[in-house]
Chain A
Amino acid sequence: MAFNGYQRDDDTIDEDETPKKQPRSNQEMPGSVRNEPRSEADAPAGAATSERRTSNATTRHRIDSVKKTRPPFPWFGMDIGGTLVKLVYFEPKDITAEEEQEEVENLKSIRRYLTSNIAYGKTGIRDVHLELQDLTLCGRTGNLHFIRFPTHDLPAFLQMGRSKHFSSLHTTLCATGGGAYKFEGDFRTMADLELHKLDELDCLVRGVLYIDSVVSRGSSECYYFENPTDPDHCIQRPYALENPYPLLLVNIGSGVSILAVYSESNYKRVTGTSLGGGTFLGLCCLLTGCSTFEEALEMASNGESTHVDKLVRDIYGGDYEKFGLPGWAVASSFGNMMFKDKRESVSKEDLARAMLVTITNNIGSITRMCALNENIERVVFVGNFLRVNTLSMKLLAYAMDYWSKGQLKALFMRHEGYFGAVGALLELLHPS
């Protein structure tokens, strides 16, 4: 076990690359910080390492040429999803007096508007707690802001862009997500803006890897739950996502995409499911009359899913021992709702909780099957479904651990839903 493939791979990196260009390899004591044992037969490891080397070389090249190609402010990255628009905005803090003077009024007003508010209009919100300060991007230092608003309010956003004469700034607006395609015409006609459209999965992968690399110190970007199967001792812990490849990246937005990532540029979409965050919210709205994700989650946190779901013990009186199914496992989601009396006795909170559990567990089992089929042991869950949704995260952590008998590890990222937008911003700064 001591002589595993990873040690050798890491040695190779150290020989090849100058350590200072590799902040994370630098910190790394080869092989020592690995959290889980790896089988020697884990073939993709070698391939992933070599690809990673390539990406580092690319980064170095980019830094050299960056000053010449640095785009004018403002720097935005946008991800227009089925439900939410995610916007990242880089606020330069190293503006010189000279620059301050040159800065056109429109740009100034946008900067002030975005940075002095935490809410925009009725529905726009800046996630202040996610703000990344003193970030160096393209040789500029500043703060990265994370803003979101519902996709159905995009017209209002475009209206604002128009009234603030955004188009006069001659900026390229890098946008990803389906909405970049769907609303391309609206951007043009309503706000006189040309979108630079980007593939959402490219952006997602790039965003995840970037954010993880810049937020590696201090408050870790990536975390996991220790003792996931023991509710009393289940604690959130930082996780150093070193040697990230191969990893399964599960993006839970309105729907779900599952990617197997072997390097920054080498990934594939394994599968997806239409049972995602949109399903949770959509069904909650229909079942409980709520209208926001926060409301739905609030209800879920006060509900009891076992009133709604039929458990193994409801059918077998206990465990289904023959097949190793514990009595507490859900045998049929919403199975109790087949009966009139039970339908009449459940609360909205119970229904919301059951909905959350159903959707989450289903994502868990599809993910687990993909991990088995792809032979990958680490799973990173991202996407806005997990925003303020510790319930689901703990459930996923539990499900991965329990059903794989400890083989699979569920990881989470603090900037849950913003990676696509970050990836779009990176494309603006370092066109690939």
Chain B
Amino acid sequence: MAECGRVDSSTSSHTMDKSITLPPDEIFRNLENAKRFAIDIGGSLTKLAYYSTVQHKVAKVRSFDHSTKEAPSDKLYEISVQEEVTARLHFIKFENAYIETCLDFIKDHLVNTETKVIKATGGGAHKFKELIERKLGLKVDKEDEMTCLIKGCNFVLRNIPHEAFVYAKHADSEFRFQTTHPDIFPYLLVNIGSGVSIVKVESEDKFERIGGSSIGGGTFWGLGALLTKTKRFDELLQLASKGQHTSVDMLVKDIYGGSYGSLGLTGDLIASSFGKSATADKEFSKEDMAKSLLHMISNDIGQLACLYAKLHNLSRVYFGGFFIRGHPVTMHTITYSINFFTKGEVQALFLRHEGYLGAIGAFLKGAEEDNPNQYSWGENYAGSSGLMSVSPDMYPMQRARSGTFDMLEMDRLERQLVNLPLLQDPSSYIPDTVDLTEDAQAREYWLYCFEEALDGVVKRAVASQPDLPEAAERAEKFRQKYRHKLQTLRYQPFAYGSLTVRSLLDTREHCLNEFNFPDPYSKVKQRENDMALKYYQKAVNSLEKLSWEERQFALVRGVLAGNVFDWGAKAVSDVLESDPEFGFEEAKKQLEERPWLIDSYDQWLERLKGPPHRCALFFVDNSGMDIILGVMPFVRELLSRGTEVVLASNSGPALNDVTNGELQILTERIAAMDPVIQAGLKEDRLTLVQSGSSSPCLDLSRLDKVLAMVVRERKTDLVIIEGMGRAIHTNYYAMLRCESLKMAVIKNSWLADRLGGKLFSVVFKYELPAAKADQDSAVLPPV
């Protein structure tokens, strides 16, 4: 009988569970290959983490073996779309109410049988232990909450640029994202859960809980529920945001009639929280009581945090826990409190992913054998909800869409990413030229621009996969996804850190990848590479005929003309779409005549008359004319001068940018025609490296470790950055410790306008290091 009853109840609960439908293509993705589960169960939210491998289509290029007859065409290389397996971390956050549904869902979709254990942390872990073990058949292995939190915190600070931010309610942009300092330690973490824990973190493995308080989120929630009969935490915060605390609190001016001048306490300061409610015959509004409570608790926590920061002499203080969790109201009151108590000496810092720290940490504990800290990870914008995705007052539409599920996905990068060793000051380096989070006008323009371009991208994506009939459907999904991201960013420009042209481009690449359009421009690139190669010899020959000085100018013009061929720029792609005959010579005609918008060509020429550089690092841009007719002759000249060259190209595809795979083949082909290039390769004076990036822009603080190594070994003394994405949208103001050359053609009239130029204006920026030239480049090598 008892047995029967149990079955009955489980059946009925099962039926009930199913009434909540989870959209499987959006939540708990890639469960089939999931392993290494970790779960962090808090007082109200559950955070689930798992590692999974994602089968992705990637475009590979393969050189035809020209010695055999199998070459089906005169094409340079073949493009094949292959399945590649990449590692991805999934983090999902949902309300505890859904936990049973979610566990059932996971069980139904979990195919992998290797997994035996689930790492668990959080206050609620023991409460749900039995349920998890029963539902999933996994053994729950508990991990210490604080250890997980700190591990997670270190992980996000290290791997996610723009993880930390300062909140300023009344500023133009409420979120001011911080450049992650290369050294993240020491810091103070104030975790405001139901209570408060204050932890000092000194290194990866060394941390200490130095204090805490019982007045925390649970106090706000519990007392708030008693006072206002409002049950939900979010609703309490909403009440608070509408209230006036002055009707409940006793202010200094209520006691003094004004300020307490001799102590510098202004009249509006709270002297006694709830001091006016000590009466039986007065009614107070729910909103006012909630507001007063919020101030009371925030001030108290802020005060304690400051006292601890002072005692331990720490200035970086991060706040987390469900009390904060992206709630503007609490971030504001905590910030206010910290500013008040430290007079601005300490800034309250918040984290975009603080809700996931425990789950991330628990996961990392379980994955120690995989050494996740050995790799670099990147936030996948396509699969991540972004900051405040479930904040109802921010954007109601989104909440309706994905319920209360919030997601973070992180891709394991093939290569470890590090700073370019030549950055003048890595801690103050900001890749992006314009922060669209702060510049509303620029934001408006670029969001519009990307939305306008969407049709073209969709068309290109479909065209790139003519053999796959369902491509159109996938492309449509891509369109929806990216359009939705753009809409989200319109309301929440801070969703993924500072909004920049780079982040908009990267988000688009992530979305394309998500729907298996790994390289929509592969065929365009192939065609253009083929065509450009045919002109290579001719171009080189005509350059050879010029005098030295004429040649130097022609080489620069060549790079610039090549850079016009950019499918990412609408002004150009329109021309290229409509005029297939548009060629290198036509491009040269479009170029602005000297003096250019930014023109330090004379200085560059003077420099060239001097001794050669030891080694140039060249960040290249587009395929086709750009790389073959623009960059390669330039490289050839450098080699001829005795300068070693390191060509850095993207690891993965982005627009029509040349990838490392493509460049390998192109270089081989060019080498076959050109003894200078041939010799360069042979003598190891021309090296191809991958940048570690798959973005049309360039973040010099996240570059392939091998690149950094080569740069150091070769004692690189010149960095050349080419193209709008890498030299204008990013790195325009980047300061290096060696000479640098930034070359680009402005192919966007709005941007040209902003910079005081016009369409096809030229930026040619040759710079010496700001400080005295460093020793390496001062001592010139013998020719």
A binds B: yes
What 0/1 readout, one digit per residue, does chain B (207-221) give for beta carbons within 8 Å of chain A? 001011111111101
Contacting pair A334 B278 (CB below 8 A): no
Closest to A268 in B: B263
Whole-angstrom distance from the CB of A295 to the nearest CB of chain B?
Answer: 10
Across the interface, name the chain B residue whose C-beta is closest to A185.
B257
Give the contacts of B550-600 with A (CB-CB under 8 A). Answer: none
Least Cβ–Cβ distance between B283 and chain A, in angstroms: 10
Cβ B219 vs Cβ A332 within 8 A:
yes
Does B222 belong to the interface (CB within 8 Å)? yes
Judging by beta carbons under 8 Å apart, are B277 and A285 in contact? yes
A216 at interface, CB cutoff 8 A: no
* Known pairs A331-B194, A331-B214, A369-B308; A274 contacts B299 (CB<8 A): yes
Asked whether B275 lies within 8 Å of A279 as measured between CB atoms, the reply is: yes
Question: Would you call B303 and A366 a contact (CB within 8 A)?
Answer: yes
Q: A182-B256, A366-B304 are in contact. Are A282 and B278 (CB under 8 A)?
A: yes
Q: Give the docked Cα–Cα distance between A361 and B317 (Å).
A: 24
Q: Is the CB of B216 within 8 A of A179?
A: no
Within the complex, what minimum Cβ distance (angstroms) separates A272 from chain B? 8
Contact of A343 among B214, B226, B252, B311 (CB under 8 A): B226
Q: Sample 5 A-B pairs with CB under 8 A, ordered by A number.
A: A82-B255, A178-B271, A278-B271, A332-B216, A338-B225
Given contact pairs A335-B219, A361-B214, A365-B304, A286 touches B256 in the complex (Cβ within 8 A)? no
Residues of B within 8 A of A323 (CB): 146, 209
Contacts of A283 in B (CB 8 A): 223, 227, 274, 277
Q: Across the interface, name the chain A residue whose C-beta is closest to B210.
A: A323
Contact of A317 among B126, B194, B300 (CB under 8 A): B126
- Which of A253, A269, A331 touches B195 (beta carbons < 8 Å)? A331
From 242 to 297 in chain B, residues with beta carbon under 8 angstroms from any chain A beta carbon are 248-250, 252, 254-258, 260, 262-263, 269-281, 284, 289, 296
Q: How far is the CA of A129 from the CA of B269 in the complex (A)?
A: 36
Assess whether B222 is in contact with A279, with CB atoms less than 8 Å apart. Answer: no
- Which residue of B255, B272, B308 is within 8 Å of A182 (Cβ)? B255
Q: Is the CB of A335 within 8 A of B218?
A: yes
A44 to B218, CA, bound (A): 41
Chain B residue with Cβ nearest A180: B256
Which of the four size classes fits the interface of chain B? Answer: 35 or more
Assess the B226–A351 pair: CB atoms within 8 A.
yes
Taken together as a complex, chains A and B put the C-alpha atoms of A81 and B341 apart, in Å, by 24
Q: Does A234 contact B (CB under 8 A)?
A: no
CB distance from B89 to the nearest CB of A (A): 26
Chain A 311-323 per-residue mask, 1 if CB under 8 angstroms from chain B, else 0? 0000111000011
- Measured CA separation A179–B304 after assembly (Å): 29
Nearest 5 CB-CB pairings of A with B: A337-B222, A178-B255, A282-B274, A278-B272, A182-B257
Closest chain B residue to A286, Cβ basis:
B277
Residue pair A369, B304 in contact (C-beta under 8 Å) = yes
Q: Mark A274-312, 1 if CB is under 8 A from B, else 0.
A: 111111011101110111000000000000000011100
For B311, what are the chain A residues with a Cβ–Cβ distance below 8 Å?
369, 372-373
Q: How far is the CA of A169 from the CA of B628 in the complex (A)?
A: 105
In-complex Cβ contact of B123 among A285, A309, A315, A362 (8 A): A315
> Could you tell me if A275 and B256 are in contact, using CB atoms closer than 8 angstroms?
no
Q: A82-B272, A285-B279, A343-B225 are in contact. Are A178 and B252 (CB under 8 A)?
A: yes
- Picked from B123, B258, B270, B289, the residue with its CB within 8 Å of the CB of A181 is B258
| Cβ-defined contact, B223 with A255, below 8 A | no
A333: CB under 8 A from chain B?
Answer: yes
Q: How far is the CB of B214 from chain A (nearest CB, A)?
A: 4
Residues of A within 8 A of B281 (CB): 291
Is B300 within 8 A of A334, CB to CB? no
Residue A254, interface by CB 8 Å: yes
Confirm or deny: A417 has a beta carbon within 8 angstroms of a beta carbon on chain B.
no
Contacts of A275 in B (CB 8 A): 215, 273, 296, 300
Q: Which chain A residues in 30-57 approach chain B with CB under 8 Å?
A: none
Does A27 lie at the interface of the complex (its beta carbon under 8 Å from any beta carbon of B)?
A: no
